[in-house]
Structure 1
Amino acid sequence: MTKSIGRCVVVLLLLSTAAPAVLAVIDGLLPNGDFERGPPESDLNDTRVMGRYSIPEWEIEGFVEYIGSGHMQDDMILPVPEGDHAVRLGNDATIRQKISVTRRTYYSITFTAARSCAQAEALNVSVEADFGVLPIQTVYTSSGWNSYCWAFKAKHSSVWLSIHNHGHEENPACGPLIDFIAIKTLHQPHLVKGNMLRNGDFEEGPYIFPDVPWGVLVPPMSEDLHSPLPGWMIMSDTKVVKYIDAKHHAVPCGGYAVELVAGRECAMLQEVKTVPGRSYRLSFFVGDGNTGCHGPLVVDAYAAREMMKVQYESRGTGGHRRAQLDFVAEENVTRVVFQSNNHHMKHDGTLCGPVIDDVSLVPVHAQRHPHP
């Protein structure tokens, strides 16, 4: 018996040595996703990284710089949001990392980026053949840094994540700065009792960095095959909505909500199966996120042929109101749409807008009148 147990232990040890377990990434920063571990001094030419594998955990290509907080370029200071270092992607530059994932699982990538001296900057984010081009020329914070997200479905157990600047400027160093790259597993939301909409409470969404106060910008679906905000599509050419958390914002319900920061240039929508001729009720919260967004915040809500404007008079300190829209379905599929009626700005000149949360859709049964 003892010999048999011994042989089993030896076999298990041999198997574990021959085929080490490959663990999928966990939610949070990728290895050296904050770039605090930098290249050796011998691999730097001023700020430019000269070696392909000089930045630990990353592979680079093209004109990539390693930037310290407070670095000066001409008369411009390049800040770093957290920590001491970031990278800058110059002309046709790429930074990539190989990550272990679970096949057929959805993931969202969140990263923080800032423009430098180029005017029309965009970043190509890709995993294998899937990619999205994320415009970053619109700035939504006073610091110049914004967090962006992009989602993919894993086709293999090991994939390359790449962030690429395809811009070409006269000054090759005029590219976007990148810091904080994280990943999160996305769970596709199921329908819950009492709501025909998926993820109507927005509790499933991209990773939000715990110490970053500005939320995450969700790109338009034209730039993203899989939504990092499951159940919802973002329709626009270049504008976004902002995914916010209760830690840094006033959220009407639960831990997360959406702020419509782009006025009428962007719409958030979901398509839902309905029965033609049947009555339905769409209800939702409208409020402000306690970010200093003052004035009348108006949300336009659409369903079938019905439309309503919901106004919330904001003092910029938080608060919300409930609204509902009754409609009769005309098709087998009805599109529910939310849009900010106007552009809004805070005192520092950054864009803001109304907050949407706890969206629900239910059938409304006709009331039966008693016989006389």
Structure 2
Amino acid sequence: MAGNVRRAAVFLAVCLAARAAAAIQDGLLPNGNFEQVPPKSQLNGTRLMGRYAIPHWEISGFVEYIGSGQKQGDMLLPVPEGAYAVRLGNEASIRQQLTDLAPRTHYSITFSAARTCAQAEQLNVTVAPESDILPIQTVYTSSGWDSYSWAFEATGSVASFIVHNPGVSEDPACGPLIDLFAIKTLPPPKSSTTPGTDNLLKNGDFEEGPYIFPNTPWGVLVPPLDLDDYSPLSPWMVLSSTKSVKYVDAPRHVVPRGARAVELVSGVEAALVQDVATVPRRPYRLEFSAGDAGDGCAGAMAVQAYAGRGSVRVPYQSRGKGGHTRGALEFTAAANQTRVVFVSMAYNMKPDGTLCGPVVDDVSLVCTRKRAARRLLL
């Protein structure tokens, strides 16, 4: 009997190890950069003719295969990485089957997009049953390319990932360019691990977030989503109508603490928000770092933080070379749940005219009554 139990345990361990080994890997999706070219027989100029013309992808509608440096009239069509990208015409879509997903696990998709001739372009991103419209009309880089993130919860081991252009232009060739598709497994949010604190906020150091492409210098945008959607920066949410915040990393930016932070690039039009369980009438202290990402964003900055019925404004004079200051807000909770909000109170721009703003990092929320009780016990 004992031998049977041991054999069953070994078999279960082997199965679990095999499942872990088969799990989807973080990084580029198969042919996620479109560098595996379609056969010449599947191209009519730039237009892709076959449904399966691009290896590992399925297309529908007017889809073009764009080479780096290609022109449309007098406009140069850049490619962010490698030699090729794809353009989606009106009502066109591209899809890929995602495999080896773990059910009930959250994943983020990162991809790059650039608008062409249309102004109010959007992209509809879907992994059934979830679907969202991502606004891409605001450009945050001088190259015209931005990286966007989106998250979903897997309902099974296989899912169909679709990017669709709902069409806002009369010209079908005015759709957005897309490139560089990557996936990342999102672990369950956990409280930050600042020594000596009991941080009630989860992911307060922003170390867990969407995939950032190693060869792109502009970070990843976290767009606004409905409250019931899954955030790629969970449990932080972005509240806005069309604007985003930017997720940045230490290799290409100055980060106050750790490896990642959030840059508030949209002024008062986008707020970074997390809801936290609190006890009414108890005192709390919110602390955070505010500074600049060392990306040339210079000038007067200000981060406004809200929690409960309190607020604090933390000014920061940036030289665009990195640095930060600490802000703090003490308040008394008024309800069982308190919303923590960060927003930039200024519109900042780099010398090239692109939007930028202050970084927020190393955020903690502690109950000061517990802290005082602990000191008395000691």
TM-score of the superposed pair, with normalisation by structure 1? 0.92
The answer (yes or no) to whether the contact 1:288–1:317 under 8 Å persists in 2 is yes
Structural mapping, 1:1-372, within 5 Å? 23-100=22-99, 101-191=101-191, 194-222=198-226, 225-365=229-369
In structure 2, the partner of 1:3 is none
How far the C-alpha of 1:24 sits from its partner, in A, is 3.2
The answer (yes or no) to whether the contact 1:150–1:224 under 8 Å persists in 2 is no
The answer (yes or no) to whether the contact 2:118–2:168 under 8 Å persists in 1 is no
- C-alpha change, 1:70 and 1:323, in structure 2 (3 Å) is same
Separation in structure 1 between the aligned mates of residue 20 and residue 362 of structure 2, nearest angstrom: 41
The answer (yes or no) to whether the contact 1:115–1:121 under 8 Å persists in 2 is yes
How many residues get paired? 352
The answer (yes or no) to whether the contact 1:288–1:316 under 8 Å persists in 2 is yes
The answer (yes or no) to whether the contact 2:28–2:180 under 8 Å persists in 1 is yes
How far the C-alpha of 1:170 sits from its partner, in A, is 2.2
One-letter identity of the residue aligned with 2:108: S
One-letter identity of the residue aligned with 1:68: G
Out of 160-169 and 55-64, give the one that drifted further: 160-169
Separation in structure 2 between the aligned mates of residue 232 and residue 177 of structure 1, nearest angstrom: 28
Separation in structure 2 between the aligned mates of residue 306 and residue 272 of structure 1, nearest angstrom: 15
One-letter identity of the residue aligned with 1:31: P
Deviation per CA, 1:249-302, whole angstroms, max 9, x where unpaired? 000000000000000011011111111111110000000001111111100000
How far the C-alpha of 1:25 sits from its partner, in A, is 1.9
Deviation per CA, 1:232-262, whole angstroms, max 9, x where unpaired? 1110011110000001000000000000000
Separation in structure 1 between the aligned mates of residue 112 and residue 249 of structure 2, nearest angstrom: 16
Equivalent residue of 2:226, what SS?
helix
In structure 2, the partner of 1:4 is none
In structure 1, the partner of 2:16 is none
The answer (yes or no) to whether the contact 2:134–2:223 under 8 Å persists in 1 is yes
Separation in structure 1 between the aligned mates of residue 32 and residue 131 of structure 2, nearest angstrom: 20
Aligned sequence identity (%): 61
Unaligned runs of 5+ in 1: 1-19
Separation in structure 2 between the aligned mates of residue 326 and residue 217 of structure 1, nearest angstrom: 30
One-letter identity of the residue aligned with 1:201: D
One-letter identity of the residue aligned with 2:266: A
Equivalent residue of 1:222, what SS?
coil
How far the C-alpha of 1:305 sits from its partner, in A, is 1.0
Separation in structure 2 between the aligned mates of residue 260 and residue 103 of structure 1, nearest angstrom: 33
In structure 2, the partner of 1:13 is none
- C-alpha change, 1:290 and 1:275, in structure 2 (3 Å) is same
Deviation per CA, 1:163-201, whole angstroms, max 9, x where unpaired? 000104222110000000000000111235620000000
One-letter identity of the residue aligned with 2:63: V
Separation in structure 1 between the aligned mates of residue 31 and residue 159 of structure 2, nearest angstrom: 17
One-letter identity of the residue aligned with 2:94: I
- C-alpha change, 1:313 and 1:60, in structure 2 (3 Å) is same
The answer (yes or no) to whether the contact 2:120–2:168 under 8 Å persists in 1 is no
Equivalent residue of 2:23, what SS?
coil
How large is the Cα RMSD of the aligned pairs? 2.0
The answer (yes or no) to whether the contact 2:121–2:168 under 8 Å persists in 1 is no
One-letter identity of the residue aligned with 2:102: T
Equivalent residue of 1:42, what SS?
helix
The answer (yes or no) to whether the contact 2:114–2:178 under 8 Å persists in 1 is yes
How far the C-alpha of 1:112 sits from its partner, in A, is 0.2
The answer (yes or no) to whether the contact 2:61–2:89 under 8 Å persists in 1 is yes
- C-alpha change, 1:77 and 1:322, in structure 2 (3 Å) is same
Separation in structure 2 between the aligned mates of residue 22 and residue 270 of structure 1, nearest angstrom: 34
One-letter identity of the residue aligned with 1:136: I
Moved over 4 A (4+): none
Equivalent residue of 2:22, what SS?
coil
Separation in structure 2 between the aligned mates of residue 367 and residue 31 of structure 1, nearest angstrom: 54
Separation in structure 2 between the aligned mates of residue 77 and residue 302 of structure 1, nearest angstrom: 44
Larger radius of gyration: 1
- C-alpha change, 1:280 and 1:238, in structure 2 (3 Å) is same
Separation in structure 2 between the aligned mates of residue 265 and residue 172 of structure 1, nearest angstrom: 31
Separation in structure 2 between the aligned mates of residue 316 and residue 196 of structure 1, nearest angstrom: 32
The answer (yes or no) to whether the contact 2:90–2:175 under 8 Å persists in 1 is yes
